[in-house]
Structure 1
Amino acid sequence: MKRKILIDYRKEKNLTQKQVADALGISEVYVRKIENGVAHPGRTTMLKFEKLYQKNSNELFPELFQVYIDTKCIND
């Protein structure tokens, strides 16, 4: 699932994936994988995205912060 919000913020700042990668100190391939939802960033990388886009991680990566409560019980 593509992370459209990341792509939109990058385009708002008129940045290429290469420019984002250089600004964050990560590879362009990793930026592409994160934007495409193929890879999940670690906490350090999330903080770098927060600083670059001036948005919090919950907004940039909402699917990583969703709470799922499993209420199904296992019977013995």
Structure 2
Amino acid sequence: MRKLKYFREKKKLTQKELAEMLGLATITIRSIENGDRNPSIDTAKRISIFFDVGMDELFPDIFLLSDGTKSIKNKTYISQ
């Protein structure tokens, strides 16, 4: 999740600072940035709101939010 790291560093925040601001554990931010885990929808939403960026822009390999579809790990689901 290199985009998360990009936006975090752009705001000159450490992983710990970002985690504290979002009410998350530092290991959560580190794991997401390293690609060891995907964020939950709630966590992705919190991060995208914080950076004022869409989830699909922050996590393009997880979320594809267009035309009423959402793609998670190469599986596409139709939103209803």
TM-score normalised according to structure 2 size:
0.76
Where does the alignment leave 5 or more consecutive residues of structure 1 unmatched?
70-76
Q: Which residue number in structure 2 is paired with residue 41 of structure 1?
A: 39
Q: Which residue number in structure 2 is paired with residue 19 of structure 1?
A: 17
Offset of residue 52 of structure 1? 1.2
Q: Which residue number in structure 2 is paired with residue 61 of structure 1?
A: 59
RMSD: 1.5
Where does the alignment leave 5 or more consecutive residues of structure 2 unmatched?
65-70, 76-80
Per-residue CA deviations over 1:18-62 (Å, capped at 9, x if unaligned) read: 011001111001100001110111111011101111101000000
How far apart are the structure 2 equivalents of 1:35 and 1:28? 11
Sequence identity percentage: 33
Q: Deviating runs (4+, > 2 A) in structure 1? A: 65-69
Q: Between Structure 1 and Structure 2, whose CA radius of gyration is higher? A: 1
Higher helix proportion (structure 1 or 2): 1
TM-score normalised according to structure 1 size:
0.80
How far apart are the structure 1 equivalents of 2:50 and 2:17? 11
Q: Which residue number in structure 1 is paired with residue 78 of structure 2?
A: none
Higher strand proportion (structure 1 or 2): 2
Equivalent residues, number: 67
